[in-house]
Amino acid sequence: MNDSADIRFLLTIRESGSLIAAARKLGLSPSAVTQRLQQLEKKLGAQLVSRTARRLQFTDEGTLLCERGADLIEQFDSLFDDLQMRRNGLVGTLKINAPLGFGRRHLAPVIGDFQQQNPDIDVALTLSDQPLTETMDRFDIVVHIGELPLSNRVGYAIAPNARFVCAAPALLKRLGMPESPDELSRLPCIVLRENNEDVTLWQFSKGRTRRSVRVSAHLSCNDGDVIRQWACEGRGVILRSEWDVADDIARGKLVRLLPGWKAPDANVMALTHQRVGVPARTRHFMQFLQSRFKPVPPWRR
């Protein structure tokens, strides 16, 4: 294997999930894709992909080649991006994945402005309710909110973001204001399903004191806008990011509960593949993104 095209070909098969889908993406016939794969395996003297009627599975050799090859391709592209930038400016495609609500409200405007200032860059934004469960290798940047699980990605701080317990004034008038986290268990609550977390276990701290409360949630959704609207309608208590509820609290639609107790922060981060060899367009977007949330993020202005 002496051509990066072979690695790109194999990575396309992995991203597509099937030879037929890969053929569509490559603009080839399925038989041509199969033949090229066989030639590549013959050249390397190893089977790379196990092909059955029902599924396509990479062998250990194929997996190793994809993992190591993806790093090489990224460095290769980064080198030529930097050379191109020196000559003509920023170019290429930037693929970004982000949570639904935050992506719509705060990230989309930033991306629109960035692309307008850098017209030779194409930006592909994907919004998801579970961005970390997506195939992260498909994206140059993954925006994440909250605690970061173990990952080989490199994280960059974008903005601070607290989490507040909130409810509508009408609900509090009917059921009373809770004085401690334990009292939340008697109130109707609404939860956001995301990232396979235990969403009905709410945790709080006050100094060295810790409280964990199992709430009763008869309403749940994977879209934060929906649960916030339900809360504004007085249907239950929510535990939600500051970026999402700050406006409603300021307007009196929601009331912050238990201000003396602190829920775990859910700071905004951007994740990239690695520190070395990151394309110029990715680095410049990261700097642009960070600048838009400094010195304080929009929800604290």
CATH number for the domain harbouring residue 49: 1.10.10.10
How far apart, in whole angstroms, are the C-alpha atoms of residue 22 and residue 29? Answer: 9
The position carrying tokens 């994280």 is: 155
Within a domain: 270: no
Question: Does 127 lie in the same domain as 100?
Answer: yes
Within a domain: 222: yes
For the chain, the residue count is 301
What is the predicted pLDDT for the residue at 177? 95
Q: What domain count does the chain have?
A: 3
Neighbours of 208 (CB within 10 A): 5
Within a domain: 295: yes
What is the predicted pLDDT for the residue at 1? 47
pLDDT value at 89 more than 70: no
The stretches of 148-279 forming alpha helices (DSSP H) are 169-175, 224-232, 242-251
Neighbours of 280 (CB within 10 A): 19
**pLDDT digit string (tens) for 195-250?**
677 899 999 999 999 999 999 999 999 899 999 999 999 999 999 999 999 999 99
Task: Give me the mean pLDDT over the 22-47 stretch.
Answer: 88
Question: Does 140 lie in the same domain as 104?
Answer: yes
Higher-pLDDT residue of 33, 136 = 33
Maximum separation of any 2 CA atoms in the chain, in Å: 74
Question: Does 178 lie in the same domain as 137?
Answer: no
Q: Looking at residue 125, which CATH number applies to its domain?
A: 3.40.190.10
- Which amino acid is it at 197? E
Are the C-beta atoms of 238 and 165 separated by less than 8 Å?
A: yes
Question: Does 174 lie in the same domain as 145?
Answer: no
- Of the candidates 72, 98, 115, which is a domain's last residue? 72
pLDDT value at 66 more than 70: yes
Neighbours of 122 (CB within 10 A): 13
Question: Does 168 lie in the same domain as 146?
Answer: no
Question: Does 184 lie in the same domain as 49?
Answer: no
Within a domain: 80: no
- Of the candidates 25, 46, 72, which is a domain's last residue? 72
pLDDT band at 132 (very low <50, low <70, confident <90, very high): low
Higher-pLDDT residue of 246, 62 = 246
Question: Does 175 lie in the same domain as 140?
Answer: no
What is the predicted pLDDT for the residue at 226? 95
Higher-pLDDT residue of 20, 274 = 20
What residue numbers bound the domain in which 202 lies? 163-257
- Of the candidates 40, 72, 104, which is a domain's last residue? 72
